[in-house]
Amino acid sequence: MLNFDCNKYSYASRRNVVFARKGMACSCVPLASQVGIDTMKRGGNAIDAAIAMAVTLPLVEPTCNGLGSDCFVLVWSAKDKKLYGLNGSGLAPRALSAQKLRDMGYSEMPVNGWLPTMVPGAVGAWAELRRRFGSMSMRELMAPAMAYAREGYPVPLNVHRLWVGEARRFKAAAEKEPEVFAPWLEYFTKSGEAYGPGELFRLPDYAASLESLAATDCESFYRGELMEKILAFSQKTGGYFSREDFESYHPLWVEPISTDYKGYQVFEMPPNGHGITVLMALNILKGLELGERDSADTYHKIIEAVKLAFIDAKTFVADPRYMQTKVEDMLSERYAAKRRSLIGEEALYPLAGDPACGDTVYFCTADGEGNMVSFIQSNYMEFGSGVVIPGTAISLQNRGANFSLDPASDNCLAGGKRSYHTIIPGFLARDGQAIGPFGVMGGFMQPQGHVQVIVNTVDYHMNPQDCLDAPRFQWQGEKKIQLEEAVPAAVAEDLRRRGHEVEIVSDRIAMGRGQIIWRRSDGTLVGGTEPRSDGSVAAW
């Protein structure tokens, strides 16, 4: 028996871009990527592959998403030569309000238990995608995940790393509310401990839930037996869901928003997601001259643009039914120029402007016909709320944690409302022709990762893998920034002289996990995957 440490890597490694003609699937878990490419080999298109991966990922990467997740999706239809957006974010229970939480003594949203849970949107979005663009049955798409749930799979290394912290988190929560959190410990730990790297993890109740979903085209989640189980556990343990919350839920088809960045069209989902942050930052950057990529001046300008865009998004983005600020004002050239003028040689303490002046999984697919999917699915904080429905293995997200309790905020909690969402799929095009999907998951790192990927691609002509390998920064608020160790020391020191509060980080998993597929003019697919995780490109 060989004896080695799965956590020890003594030497630097390099990945190359991957090429394909008939199909490509990228994710942070090799098993999920393989499910996607196998689906296309069985006759499915890129949308079928994405749905099959979305169904598999709550099982093989449960530290980031579950059957109780939300999702956002961008779909490029080769037939229509058009990009479609699907908002699969959930709604707060009608019985909840900001006043109710303030009366309970909360000054901000909690992250554990029933209060931050919302009606999950991902399952409904899977069915909506299949009906509009898919070519296979839901049972065919769910079959691989059912098999893995029953037979088990070896836990990936970085999934294990996230699992360890979550086991501590919910063991502590279970000591205070055992009735609420005991099912999480039962399903997702071995006697209270996280599953180790390479250990076999089985979840047969997940397969049983998929059987119910496959038989009803996902209707049982909102208007059937799975809904009944969710409501029963909610009523038993202090939740706030009602039958009407689920029966009235439907995902929304939306028009993607975009900006032109130096001749390329960058697409994001509109609010309630914060993809607009990416577009606002790029609008600021396109009026600035960027020098060498690994210079302090370049880092400084990108950081400042991100800060200004981010503070605006945090202030103004909400459920679009409640937003007082117009998207077109936030994306106007006039406003971009106004924000750009604030950038000087020193680090800014960012404040929101006035635009009216005039833990998540990301994966992507592409097929030989030209269909492409940019898909992001998330619990928000690793395992989410920690609420798991007995007999179903449904783990519920805690996306409601992003609501504000400030009655003056457009994002203030209200029943039936969508919260500010951090999940953002991206898409790149030029002259009306699709180039492809991209994304970088990881909470508030996501728009920062998108900006860095697009700048690497457009300004520095880097290939997809090089884009993802490149060292990253993450703005943490105020003047605080994190830099990866690979950022040159001279750059870090220069940024400190400019007033940035710099922290060098060695744990790269927190700096975002991305995937990219570009389609060349000859139809060849070119993929890159995240070196900070267990990323994999499956090609055909």
Three-state SS string over 247-303 comes to HCCCCEEECCEEEEECCEEEEECCCCECCHHHHHHHHHHCCCCCCCCCCHHHHHHHH
Computed over every residue of the chain, the mean pLDDT equals 94
Q: Taking residues 449-465, what's their average pLDDT? A: 95
* Burial zone of 43 (CB within 10 Å; 0-12 exposed, 13-18 middle, 19+ buried): exposed
pLDDT score of 231 more than 50: yes
Catalytic residue among 259, 277, 325, 360: 360
Is pLDDT above 70 for 355? no
**Mean pLDDT over residues 306-321, rounded?**
93
- State the residue for tokens 């709604």: 91
Mean pLDDT in residue range 331-345: 94
Does the annotation mark 360 as catalytic? yes
113's tokens: 């238990």
Please give the C-alpha separations between residue 238 and each of 120, 459, 465, in angstroms, as whole numbers.
18, 52, 47
Q: Quick one: average pLDDT of 459-484?
A: 93
pLDDT at 439: 95
SS3 91: coil
Report the run of H or E that residue 308 belongs to, with start and end: helix 296-316
pLDDT at 357: 46
Q: Is the pLDDT of residue 489 over 80?
A: yes
- Per-residue model confidence (pLDDT) at position 358: 42
- 136 band by pLDDT with thresholds 50, 70 and 90: very high
Lowest mean pLDDT of 249-253, 353-357, 435-439, name the range: 353-357
Contact 177, 381 (CB under 8 A): no
Query: How confident is the model over 84-129, as pLDDT tens digits?
Result: 999 999 999 999 999 999 999 999 999 999 999 999 999 999 999 9
pLDDT digits (tens, 9 = 90+) for 365-375: 999 999 999 99
Provide the strand spans (E) within 317-371: 361-367
pLDDT (0 to 100) of residue 183: 96
pLDDT band per the 50, 70, 90 thresholds, residue 354: low
What's the mean pLDDT in 430-441? Answer: 94
Predicted pLDDT of residue 353: 67
Look at residue 104 in the predicted model and tell me its pLDDT: 96
Q: Which residue has the higher pLDDT, 504 or 11?
A: 504
